[in-house]
Structure 1
Amino acid sequence: MRALVAAGLVLVVTACSSPEPGGNAPSKAPAPAGLQVEEVAGGLQHAWDIGFLPDGSMLVTERPGTIKIVKSGQVTPLDIDLGDVQARGEGGLMGLVVHPDNQRFTVCYNTSDDVRLVTFRLDGTKATKTKDLLTGMPSNSSGRHSGCRPTLAPDGTMFVATGDIAQARNPQDRTSLGGKVLRIDPETGEGAAGNPFIASGNANERRVYSYGHRNVQGVVFRPDSDQIFSSEHGPSVDDEVNLLAKGANYGWDPSKGGAQSRYDESVPMTDLQRFPDAVPAVWSSGSPTEAICQAAFWNGKLAITALKGSKLLLFTLDATGKVQNVSIPEELNDKYGRLRAARTAPDGSLYVTSSNGTDDKLLRLSGNA
């Protein structure tokens, strides 16, 4: 078991832990015992997200624009029209969430014009489009910072993590859907009741839950708690895990207060000088970044995949959401390359995907961690 030290992001072989931002180092992380990793399926291509169905099968999105049904180790292409997906750079077919009726699912993807959420109805191995749930999310022609992942909240609303598409003013512009965490009605795509800016005259601002983000890769809800965490890519430093607060600014502003249109990545991930009320991260990677990706709660810990770091990070949190330590299971450390998706299955196991581009894997994790 390796563990991660956030102050400078030092990796060491013996078990140690990540200092709290601005605080003392927490206690050492114990090594997990009995972690099992099962290769459920292979032959995938940039496997981006996972959705579970009641018959034990899974839907897995692939960034080039296909969805696979995985059941009992068998992989079957889903019959679905995704001809308007534009896969370029970091963009393409991305996040997926299955609706509570288990008959519909919503995916997020790039088109030639935008990033959009689209809902489909599932019938066996075929899916039919029912509606464009939300269109007009900003898109970069290169696909950069196109991150888009929907997740259903315990209250039935849909949270959507978005990237800022590397446009300097998007993160602080509450009328832009880029660089945000959105909270929407999963039936209409409109801002959900109780949102912080629900009284705004701008429909996009009514959808915003939090802003000032760079490229959010995942949102997850802590069981038996009202805590919401997000995982976010930093530039050359400071990937962030954030504890989300309604209406809060998380301080990313490459426009420097709107003074420039250039995407200036030298600014802090959380600029407390420009925005004294911005919310600091509960954990940041320091340098170099890990390119952390999707987050899920598993065995009481916050599990987050890493793309560049090619590992799984396990965060032990206290009751307030403060990070106590971070550990890295050796069973996944640089064994499968870039790790992207992370979803907790109904049986309590954790499923993750690799995202290397060829022969990507769907992995099932069980046991202690």
Structure 2
Amino acid sequence: MRARTVGLLLTVCCGLTACSSEPVEQPSPAPQVPTPAPPTGTALKIEEVAGGLEHPWDVGFLPDGKVLVTQRPGRLALLSGMTPGATVTEVDADFADVLVKGEGGLMGLAVHPDFVHSRRFVTCQTRQNGGSPVDVRVVTWTLSPDGRSAQRVGDLLTGLPVNASGRHSGCRPTVAPDGALLVGTGDIADHPGIPQDRKNLGGKVLRIDLRTGEGLPDNPFASSPDPVERRLLTYGHRNVQGVAVQPGSDQVFISEHGPRGRDEVSKIIPGRNYGWDPSRGGTTDEYDESVSMSDTERFPDAVPPLWTSGSVSEAPSGAAFLAGTQWGQLEGRLAVVALRGQKMLLFRLDGSGAVTDVLLPPEFNDTHGRLRAARLGPDGALYVSTSTGDNDKILRVTLA
């Protein structure tokens, strides 16, 4: 295991952002988080459930034990089970309007809580029309009884901004215990005012009705006359990639790409600003990545991250809590997988939600390539997808 120290919160890699030799403004130093060696009894067992996939972006578990998998090039797969040797069946669905470019394509996935009756699930996807980018949107689908095809029901939410290059497309949906759909979005790395614009869906965490796509009546801006603002849970984000709900507290945590390192893990506080403003208060039309990820100087009330990667780029992606006694000493930790870092980070949180230490399981250090999705399955195992683009896999992770 590499002994380097990982700082608070996660960032995007230089390869995904515009690199520069210009000095970077750094936020006030965050408290260092210990990264001890994993204690005895915390070794992980990693099994390959299925392979032959291409950039699997997300996974969704069905009541019959099967697993849906979205693939960024615009394909949907159904795994026959959650154990090694599962067969992979391509699900026939019309993704002809998906813009597959850079970070964009067929992305996040969430299964309806009432799937056993409705057979519905939602996907996040970038849309094009005649080759021109339109938006990022959340689409509702119905899976056929035999699982071989999916029919598009309709667009649940449209108008999320999109970059023609696909950069900073987001888009991670997660169903909360109360049935609300949480969606982490990207700021598209183009129009610098988007993250602070509460009438734009980019660079936000949204909380919407899973049936209608509308903002919920107990959202922080529910009384706003603007329908976009009514959907917002938080704003001032750069590129949210992981959204996880802590069992027991129902507290929401996110993982987010930062510029030139400075990736973050944050606790969501409804209605709050998280401080990303590449427009420098509207003083520049350029997307300025030298500003602080969480600018508490310009926004004194901005919520600081719980953890940041500092100058190291990890490019964190999916996030999930390890719930259940089967995880032993790891129970309750927040698992975050990384693209550039090619690792898993396990965050221990105290009662207030603060990070007290981070474990780096050696079983994942540069052994499986880029890691994209992380979801806890109904069997209590953690399911992780690789994202190299060449024979990608779904991995099943348990305590050895």
Interval of TM-score (by shorter of Structure 1 and Structure 2): over 0.9
**How far apart, in 1, do the equivalents of 2:32 and 2:60 lie?**
39
**Cα distance change of structure 1 residues 4 and 174 upon mapping to structure 2, 3 Å threshold:** farther
1:14 matched to which residue of 2?
none
2:262 matched to which residue of 1?
238
**CA deviations over 1:33-90 (Å, ceiling 9, x no partner):** 3411001111110110000011111000000000100114100001111111110011
Q: 1:151 aligns with which of 171, 174, 196?
A: 174
Shift in Å at residue 136 of structure 1?
1.1
Shift in Å at residue 260 of structure 1?
1.2
Q: 1:272 aligns with which of 285, 296, 304?
A: 296
2:368 matched to which residue of 1?
336
**CA deviations over 1:242-267 (Å, ceiling 9, x no partner):** 00000000000000011111000000
Letter paired with 2:143: L
Shift in Å at residue 7 of structure 1?
4.5
2:36 matched to which residue of 1?
28
- Pairs within 5 Å for 1:77-156: 77-102=90-115, 103-112=119-128, 113-123=134-144, 124=146, 125-156=148-179
Q: Count residues in correspondence.
A: 358
The answer on whether the counterparts of 1:29 and 1:325 sit within 8 Å (CA) in structure 2 is no
- Once the two structures are overlaid, the 10-residue window that deviates more, 306-315 or 122-131, is 122-131
2:276 matched to which residue of 1?
252
**How far apart, in 1, do the equivalents of 2:99 and 2:388 lie?**
19
Tell me whether 1:51 sits opposite 2:72 in the alignment: no
**CA deviations over 1:313-336 (Å, ceiling 9, x no partner):** 111111111111111111111111
SS of match in other structure, 1:171: helix
The answer on whether the counterparts of 2:35 and 2:359 sit within 8 Å (CA) in structure 1 is no
**Cα distance change of structure 1 residues 21 and 300 upon mapping to structure 2, 3 Å threshold:** farther
**How far apart, in 2, do the equivalents of 1:304 and 1:204 lie?**
29
Shift in Å at residue 30 of structure 1?
3.4
The answer on whether the counterparts of 2:8 and 2:30 sit within 8 Å (CA) in structure 1 is no
- Pairs within 5 Å for 1:162-181: 162-166=185-189, 167-181=191-205
Letter paired with 1:81: D
**Cα distance change of structure 1 residues 121 and 337 upon mapping to structure 2, 3 Å threshold:** same
TM-score (norm 1): 0.94
**How far apart, in 2, do the equivalents of 1:2 and 1:283 lie?**
19
1:300 matched to which residue of 2?
332
**How far apart, in 2, do the equivalents of 1:30 and 1:174 lie?**
42
Tell me whether 1:313 sits opposite 2:345 in the alignment: yes
Letter paired with 2:386: S
- Once the two structures are overlaid, the 10-residue window that deviates more, 173-182 or 194-203, is 194-203
Tell me whether 1:193 sits opposite 2:217 in the alignment: yes
**Cα distance change of structure 1 residues 77 and 27 upon mapping to structure 2, 3 Å threshold:** closer
Tell me whether 1:283 sits opposite 2:307 in the alignment: yes
Shift in Å at residue 23 of structure 1?
3.2
SS of match in other structure, 2:228: helix
The answer on whether the counterparts of 1:35 and 1:331 sit within 8 Å (CA) in structure 2 is yes
**How far apart, in 1, do the equivalents of 2:127 and 2:218 lie?**
30
1:16 matched to which residue of 2?
none
Structure 1: which 4+ aligned runs deviate by more than 4 Å?
1-4, 24-27
Q: 1:209 aligns with which of 222, 229, 233?
A: 233
TM-score (norm 2): 0.87
**How far apart, in 2, do the equivalents of 1:78 and 1:128 lie?**
10
**Cα distance change of structure 1 residues 142 and 27 upon mapping to structure 2, 3 Å threshold:** closer
**Cα distance change of structure 1 residues 77 and 241 upon mapping to structure 2, 3 Å threshold:** same
**CA deviations over 1:107-127 (Å, ceiling 9, x no partner):** 010011010000001112211
The answer on whether the counterparts of 1:27 and 1:324 sit within 8 Å (CA) in structure 2 is no
Greater RCO, 1 or 2 (C-alpha within 8 Å, sep 6+) = 2
Please give the root-mean-square deviation of Cα atoms over the aligned residues, in Å. 1.7
Shift in Å at residue 3 of structure 1?
5.9
1:366 matched to which residue of 2?
398
**Cα distance change of structure 1 residues 194 and 288 upon mapping to structure 2, 3 Å threshold:** same
Tell me whether 1:323 sits opposite 2:355 in the alignment: yes
**How far apart, in 2, do the equivalents of 1:343 and 1:98 lie?**
12
More helix by percentage: 2
**How far apart, in 2, do the equivalents of 1:224 and 1:23 lie?**
27
Letter paired with 2:367: K
- Once the two structures are overlaid, the 10-residue window that deviates more, 308-317 or 23-32, is 23-32
Question: Is there any run of 5+ residues in structure 1 with no aligned partner, and where?
Answer: 10-19
More strand by percentage: 1
- Once the two structures are overlaid, the 10-residue window that deviates more, 69-78 or 207-216, is 69-78
Shift in Å at residue 28 of structure 1?
3.4
2:382 matched to which residue of 1?
350
1:13 matched to which residue of 2?
none
SS of match in other structure, 1:271: coil
The answer on whether the counterparts of 2:43 and 2:361 sit within 8 Å (CA) in structure 1 is no
**How far apart, in 2, do the equivalents of 1:162 and 1:272 lie?**
21
